[in-house]
Amino acid sequence: MSRVESTKGRGVGRRWHRWTESEAREALEEFAAGGESAAVFARRRGISTQRLGYWRRRLSRSGMTEFVAVALPDVSRAFLEIAVGGVVVRVREDLDVGHVAGLVEAIGRRWGGPC
């Protein structure tokens, strides 16, 4: 999404293109590889040294983001939460119904009454 804006009224009298982040990265890589001063590079590219400086600061703050793979637990299984007498037990939904019923009954007995 680029936009062309007029710089008239600022004494320049020419039009400029608003950089996207990828365009700024490309220009900064070219600048870093070229060995020119910021003023020479900016003049050659038809940009201001302020624009170059702005993008250098902006991109140095954000840095290069790297993504790291993270192993997650199997989230495809559903869980049930059973709350009895202030105790909360979380069990897999595919657990045998008899085991779940026995667990609820034991918790109910421990906490003073049938469930």
User: What is the full per-residue pLDDT of the chain (115 aa) written as tens digits?
Assistant: 444 433 433 334 455 678 888 899 999 999 999 889 999 999 998 889 999 999 888 887 755 556 677 777 766 677 788 777 677 888 887 788 888 888 778 877 776 655 4
The β-bridge partners of 44 are none
Q: What is the pLDDT of residue 16?
A: 63
DSSP 43-64: HHHT--HHHHHHHHHHHHHH--
In a domain, 67, yes or no: no
The contacts of residue 99 (CB under 8 Å, 6+ apart) are none
Q: Which two tokens stand for residue 63?
A: 């840095």
Same domain, 88 and 40: no
In a domain, 37, yes or no: yes
Same domain, 55 and 90: no
Query: Do 106 and 97 meet the contact criterion of CB atoms below 8 Å apart?
Result: no
In a domain, 74, yes or no: no
Range of the structural domain that residue 19 is part of:
4-62
